[in-house]
Structure 1
Amino acid sequence: MAFKWLLSSLLLSQAEAFYIPGWSVKSYHEGEHIPLMVNKVYSDNTQLQYAYYDLPFVCPPTGRSVGSILSGQSIPLNLGEVLRGDRITTSDIDLALGHDNECSYLCTQQVTRRDLKRAKELVKDGYVVEWIVDNLPGATSFVTVDKSRKYYAAGFKLGFTDYSSATGKPRYYLNNHHTIVIRYRSAPGRAGDNGGKVVVGFEVYTKSVGASTPRGKDNCPLDLKDVEDKFELYIAPNKTTDLHQQYPDSSYYPSIEEGDDNDTIDVPYTYSVYFREDDTIEWNRRWDLYFVNQEEGSKIHWLAIVNSLIICGLLTGITMMILAKTIRTDIKNFKEGTMEDGKLKIKRKAKSGAQTPRVEKQGLGLLEPATDADAIDDISSEDEALEDVTGWKLLHADVFRKPQYGYLLAPLVGSGMQLLFMAVGLILLSAIGVLNPSFRGGFISAGFGLFVFAGAFSGYFSAKVYKTFDGTNHVKNALVTALLFPGLFFGLVFILNLFVWAQASSTAIPFGTLVGIVFLWLCIQVPLVYVGSWYGFVRTGAWEHPTKTTSIPRQVPPQAWYLQSLQSILLAGLIPFAVIFIELLFVFQSMWQDKSGYYYVFGFLSVVSIILIFTIAEVTIVTVYVQLCSENYHWWWQSFAVGGGSAIWIFLYCVWYYFVKLHITGFLSSLLFFAYSFMACCMYGLLTGTIGFLTAYAFVRRIYGAIKAD
């Protein structure tokens, strides 16, 4: 069955992000207006995004009619779009299908010295702009080194940096002319037969045009192909502060910060539009150009799967050896003895013709038939027999002893099941193409919805574990389950949001959205958690253990260094991390470096996730077995921690990635990176810890149930 799932997932990996036919196809006719939306600006060097029309140096919308809509009109957004910082608004740019426009004047924006300084900072940080046409982000076009293939990078540069040949200091330029190229082809099906066209590409080419460039009556540059003067983000200081004029022989180059704040400069904006028919791009494959180096990436993904399969295969062999050989041999040898009240009694056959007095070794409860002549030899034999049955077999009366702080472990397991349901749903929906790039914000929206409605699973499993730990107040457990993890998560997000609000960034979650999230949490999730908890506690009850627990706990002997809690967690967590670290590279690149890009190979991710689940289960089984063999029955929390131990390595990987791969600047951006990374690792740790806990519980029940059966 597992092989069938693996094969199915491999097949799904080839469906790299397709569209559901008939769901999102939009066709246009000749001369029909195509709205151009502006969204936001963002950068790989910072975590702060800004709405495009919030920038003080760009042309604001005039509210004029563009086709059937008005410019400046905000587009309704789903929850995922809001949380990812989108702020989509219709623009004044007029696009009519099939009608080229060599140049159109947009506006002349008067910019103060302070606003120009803001523009300079954004250009310095490498901000790019996101415009949208037919749900496609405007892209910068590139070709491969061998010029055999074209690909897109979503977004286009707000400006660029150059260095003065005289002083070597950086100078910043603004891109104020945009050449828009719309690629289209005949629409598929009946719409194409009726003359409908579909957009298959949206390219934006930028140019910086200085104020001294000759312009015509329409305020457009006379020669856009050969523009020598570029628009520099610089206002000359006034006479009172023009130190360069006072000291002409100096290499001093005044900055824009100097001078009167009331000084202004005019920024002219123009644009060109060209429509090009392109039959080489299928409509349902139009996003492929945004996925850079797909062939090379696929090879690495396959390498990650092979690496994961090798590690998982080795672990499977070790686990099967434990289950099939070691444990079965122990149980078979154990048939000669019985367990009563926590004391082990070995039964041996007496020698032929001899009397059978019993010699008792007090303290261990060891009773052995022996002859008078061989009593001393039999006692020595009893010590050897004791060695054969020590370890995990001696813990039958303590292995199911309820753990300390079980009232916290149960809600954590419940939250982990909630996250597991959400993760499985997201990967499945993405692998079959429902959550594709055209569904902007769909991944976050679907994830949030799955998490909320999975509250019933959270309450059910939390109640089952809680009652297994002899808990009595299921209402209190349900409230802790519903409020603990979501409450801590929401509190941290709210605190971070205060910092982002202060920067007027679109990354900040609007207050109304926060209120809506709280409503979904308290009015939908909490009742679902309670319903699931009631059903799990009242209707189904606790899991029954195969052995009884004595009133007096055994003393745990000293443990080897590698069996100490922290050491075992780190060592065991390293193996699942080795399974996924190659795939993590793609996930991190999509999240932190290619913010405009999209992680799309969910087929590969689903395969790696299945292997990861098996790996975590096997690692936990091996670790718990070794711990029980060392006569340590405190495995409840340990199994949860071992299952989630790879989260520690992932967070350390985040730290390494920050210092080696990223170029994030600013305290707030760094704070957001580490805070979001920490929250993601906590979620991953809860999910994988729950897998480890439930696997270990099933394993322990199985081996001690076999002893009882014998």
Structure 2
Amino acid sequence: MWERLRYLLLLLLWLHGTDSFYVPGVAPINFHWNDPVEIKAVKLTSSRTQLPYEYYSLPFCQPSEITYKAENLGEVLRGDRIVNTPFQVFMNVEKKCEVLCNFPNKPVTLTVDQSKLMAERIREDYYVHLIADNLPVATRLEFYSNREEEDKKKEKDVQFEHGYRLGFLDGNKFYLHNHLSFILYYHREDVEENQEPTYRVVRFEVIPQSIKLEDLKADDKGMCTLPEATGSAPQEIDPTKENQLLFTYSVHWEESDIKWASRWDTYLTMSDVQIHWFSIINSVVVVFFLSGILSMIIIRTLRKDIANYNKEDDIEDTMEESGWKLVHGDVFRPPQYPMILSSLLGSGIQLFCMILIVIFVAMLGMLSPSSRGALMTTACFLFMFMGVFGGFFAGRLYRTLKGHRWKKGAFCTATLYPGVVFGICFVLNCFIWGKHSSGAVPFPTMVALLCMWFGISLPLVYLGYYFGFRKQPYDNPVRTNQIPRQIPEQRWYMNKFVGILMAGILPFGAMFIELFFIFSAIWENQFYYLFGFLFLVFIILVVSCSQISIVMVYFQLCAEDYRWWWRTFLVSGGSAFYVLIYAVFYFVNKLDIVEFIPSLLYFGYTALMVLSFWLLTGTIGFYAAYMFVRKIYAAVKID
């Protein structure tokens, strides 16, 4: 059985491309002494601009032949452009200092335009991202956990940041990190006697340095000499004139006890995991407590209501003249715009199925950060294939709401939400194109996405809609009167917007801690890896959305307002409003974005996130309320 599973896994790897999909534990690479370890560049990123660029968009030294790696859909959408570099690194071979570029005895001359561009990227706080054996380079940050001088040596902690800074700014002067000291850690594998030892790369660090041209002392053989730490001047980049400099690097190898299966642990602890644990557990406990109280209150109240409504007295019970039983003849009256409602709910079902499967598979370790781009690729394909479920539920609900034009309804389901997403992304992509960023989706990829939309998602939605529309509509327990009853004047707290604010608090409280880490992973180029916690938070989100939706629809029906279809969908998605408020807070307090286009990108993609979250939570709440309404009206006797 396990052997078949392994072959199935390898087949999936092949379908995604040999070099574009990577699952930890499947294909470790063994190196022998002096085997080449290829250093590749991924991209340049900055949390201040949110615009990734290709590595060779800056005048770095280039190899004799530039080769880009074949990438999957997720890598293209992330802006990754993985390319080879001229760094010559060999397993367990030390290099003290070597000069890059084709003419080691001549410095590199940056033109005025190149100098301006380099200085601009330094000012925008760009990071350079390299990989070795699919491990991203990390910069070590050392700090002391105890401020007392006598305890500093004992309690020194180490943390890492992703990539390395292109340079730094000192006053009005720009300095470039032109020397890279690579530190690679290897784990020696156990081999039989008389066999050559094998090694595996388990960590990739870099110490970036800025060293002036004259202090490097390069010779004609391409070798250089690093100056003493106290006697070197940094390499300044003057954007107003040409600049001469050398790009150099050194390589140091260290043996490590870290095994290959655990080599990503270093990168995944770049944030404070302990705070993450305590915060999530605290949120889960609070939400479970509040959910338990709400459940007890609503169940006790319902039992009392149903017992009173079902009393068989000769005299008409006054309880039947008010409350939710009184609107039994109108509660299942079809709402306005049933086609749009069913289409939005169909898209919500698509999102729900896609998110559930993605989080579950990622929790099993199949979509870890080492699987570069696999998470986004899987999400895109799953959303397309889940169209059959979205169409089925939308079609059946549309028929239940007395709809007749099923073909138009299926087209609306397949195009309404994806059309909005595609339209916003296309407009944002035009701005990214104008900046010549690698984050711009290439035209062939955009055509491929359109073909996937109209070639996979649209037919599957039509297929699901057809079978859903043919299936028997949902069986409502009471008949609908021909003449709608008058709705009494509602109290102020029954206002729709007040309901949205009230209903969104509990679901948002269940996931706002996790939202911080998700935003950090998206906007600050960090790794997100606690998918087990994310799955737990997702389940809590489903429970809290369902419960708050049931409570709100119960209050509405008790106020003799039977127009609950649209309202439940809107109110259940109330937590999306708080997500929007949190996104604005995060933008103001956590990010250093001041330019127009980065701000436009942030709020454009945030709008898509809020819209998707609103559809997801609204769909969860709607179906929970629908099942609740059918259940309570089936439990009372209707004359």
- TM-score in terms of structure 1 length: 0.82
Please tell me whether residue 212 in structure 1 is matched to residue 229 in structure 2: no
Tell me, in whole angstroms, the C-alpha distance in 2 between the residues paired with 1:45 and 1:192.
54
* RMSD, matched Cα: 2.0
2:498 equivalent among 567, 577, 584 = 567
Secondary structure of 1:679 counterpart: helix
Question: Partner residue of 1:375?
Answer: none
Tell me, in whole angstroms, the C-alpha distance in 1 between the residues paired with 2:177 and 2:111.
17
User: Equivalent residues in 2 for 1:39-438 (5 A)?
Assistant: 39-55=42-58, 57-63=59-65, 72-107=66-101, 108-146=107-145, 147-163=155-171, 170-187=172-189, 195-213=197-215, 215-218=217-220, 220-226=223-229, 227-234=231-238, 256-257=239-240, 264-279=242-257, 281-292=258-269, 296-323=272-299, 325-336=300-311, 347-348=314-315, 385-387=317-319, 389-438=321-370
Tell me, in whole angstroms, the C-alpha distance in 1 between the residues paired with 2:139 and 2:572.
43
Question: Partner residue of 1:359?
Answer: none
| CA pair 180-21 structure 1, distance change in 2 beyond 3 A | closer
Secondary structure of 1:94 counterpart: coil
Q: Contact 1:334 / 1:389 at 8 angstroms: preserved in 2? A: no
Question: Could you tell me how far 1:328 is from its partner in structure 2?
Answer: 2.0
Question: Partner residue of 1:693?
Answer: 622
For 1:152, the aligned partner's letter is: F
Please tell me whether residue 681 in structure 1 is matched to residue 610 in structure 2: yes
| CA pair 20-592 structure 1, distance change in 2 beyond 3 A | closer
Secondary structure of 1:213 counterpart: helix
For 2:48, the aligned partner's letter is: N
For 2:92, the aligned partner's letter is: G
| CA pair 28-572 structure 1, distance change in 2 beyond 3 A | same
Q: Contact 1:184 / 1:200 at 8 angstroms: preserved in 2? A: yes
User: Equivalent residues in 2 for 1:415-564 (5 A)?
Assistant: 415-538=347-470, 540-564=471-495
Q: Contact 1:330 / 1:389 at 8 angstroms: preserved in 2? A: no
Tell me, in whole angstroms, the C-alpha distance in 1 between the residues paired with 2:554 and 2:191.
61
Question: Partner residue of 1:365?
Answer: none
| CA pair 38-303 structure 1, distance change in 2 beyond 3 A | closer
Write out per-residue CA displacement over residues 551-598 of structure 1, whole angstroms, 9 at most, x where no aligned residue: 1101111111111111111111122111211221222222222x0x21
Question: Could you tell me how far 1:149 is from its partner in structure 2?
Answer: 4.0
User: Equivalent residues in 2 for 1:597-676 (5 A)?
Assistant: 597-676=526-605
Tell me, in whole angstroms, the C-alpha distance in 1 between the residues paired with 2:218 and 2:301.
89
Write out per-residue CA displacement over residues 10-62 of structure 1, whole angstroms, 9 at most, x where no aligned residue: xxxxxxxxx9664131111111111110111111211111001121x211332
Q: Which moved more, 1:22-31 or 1:120-129?
A: 22-31
Secondary structure of 1:212 counterpart: helix
Secondary structure of 2:504 counterpart: helix
Question: Could you tell me how far 1:222 is from its partner in structure 2?
Answer: 2.9
Tell me, in whole angstroms, the C-alpha distance in 1 between the residues paired with 2:226 and 2:88.
22
Q: Contact 2:97 / 2:226 at 8 angstroms: preserved in 1? A: no
Question: Could you tell me how far 1:347 is from its partner in structure 2?
Answer: 2.9
Tell me, in whole angstroms, the C-alpha distance in 2 between the residues paired with 1:216 and 1:675.
49
Question: Could you tell me how far 1:474 is from its partner in structure 2?
Answer: 1.2
Question: Could you tell me how far 1:212 is from its partner in structure 2?
Answer: 2.9
Tell me, in whole angstroms, the C-alpha distance in 2 between the residues paired with 1:669 and 1:47.
6
| CA pair 407-193 structure 1, distance change in 2 beyond 3 A | farther
| CA pair 192-662 structure 1, distance change in 2 beyond 3 A | farther
| CA pair 709-284 structure 1, distance change in 2 beyond 3 A | farther
Tell me, in whole angstroms, the C-alpha distance in 1 between the residues paired with 2:189 and 2:635.
65
Structure 1: any 5+ residue segments left out of the alignment? 1-18, 64-71, 164-169, 235-255, 258-262, 338-345, 349-367, 369-384
Question: Partner residue of 1:583?
Answer: 514
| CA pair 670-386 structure 1, distance change in 2 beyond 3 A | same
Q: Contact 1:183 / 1:202 at 8 angstroms: preserved in 2? A: yes
Question: Partner residue of 2:6?
Answer: none
Q: Contact 2:74 / 2:376 at 8 angstroms: preserved in 1? A: yes
Write out per-residue CA displacement over residues 73-127 of structure 1, whole angstroms, 9 at most, x where no aligned residue: 1101111111111000011111111111112111243211122111111111111
Q: Which moved more, 1:95-104 or 1:300-309?
A: 300-309
Question: Partner residue of 2:38?
Answer: 35
| CA pair 657-193 structure 1, distance change in 2 beyond 3 A | farther
| CA pair 553-453 structure 1, distance change in 2 beyond 3 A | same
Structure with larger Rg: 1
| CA pair 191-407 structure 1, distance change in 2 beyond 3 A | farther
Q: Contact 1:159 / 1:175 at 8 angstroms: preserved in 2? A: yes
| CA pair 157-21 structure 1, distance change in 2 beyond 3 A | closer
Write out per-residue CA displacement over residues 200-249 of structure 1, whole angstroms, 9 at most, x where no aligned residue: 01111111122332523235443333452221111xxxxxxxxxxxxxxx
Tell me, in whole angstroms, the C-alpha distance in 1 between the residues paired with 2:558 and 2:190.
66
Structure 2: any 5+ residue segments left out of the alignment? 1-21, 102-106, 146-154
Question: Partner residue of 2:9?
Answer: none
| CA pair 267-216 structure 1, distance change in 2 beyond 3 A | closer
Tell me, in whole angstroms, the C-alpha distance in 1 between the residues paired with 2:191 and 2:575.
50
Question: Could you tell me how far 1:282 is from its partner in structure 2?
Answer: 2.0
For 1:332, the aligned partner's letter is: A
Q: Contact 1:185 / 1:277 at 8 angstroms: preserved in 2? A: yes
Secondary structure of 2:416 counterpart: helix
Q: Contact 1:37 / 1:132 at 8 angstroms: preserved in 2? A: yes
Q: Contact 1:35 / 1:133 at 8 angstroms: preserved in 2? A: yes
Tell me, in whole angstroms, the C-alpha distance in 1 between the residues paired with 2:283 and 2:431.
41
Tell me, in whole angstroms, the C-alpha distance in 2 between the residues paired with 1:674 and 1:193.
58
For 1:151, the aligned partner's letter is: Q
| CA pair 580-62 structure 1, distance change in 2 beyond 3 A | same
Secondary structure of 1:627 counterpart: helix
Q: Contact 1:27 / 1:191 at 8 angstroms: preserved in 2? A: no
Tell me, in whole angstroms, the C-alpha distance in 2 between the residues paired with 1:648 and 1:59.
48
Count of aligned pairs between the two proteins: 602
Write out per-residue CA displacement over residues 483-506 of structure 1, whole angstroms, 9 at most, x where no aligned residue: 111011001101100000000001
Q: Identity of counterpart residues, as a percentage? A: 38
Secondary structure of 1:707 counterpart: coil
For 2:367, the aligned partner's letter is: L
Question: Could you tell me how far 1:333 is from its partner in structure 2?
Answer: 1.7
Tell me, in whole angstroms, the C-alpha distance in 1 between the residues paired with 2:467 and 2:249.
63
Question: Partner residue of 1:9?
Answer: none
Tell me, in whole angstroms, the C-alpha distance in 2 between the residues paired with 1:26 and 1:708.
70
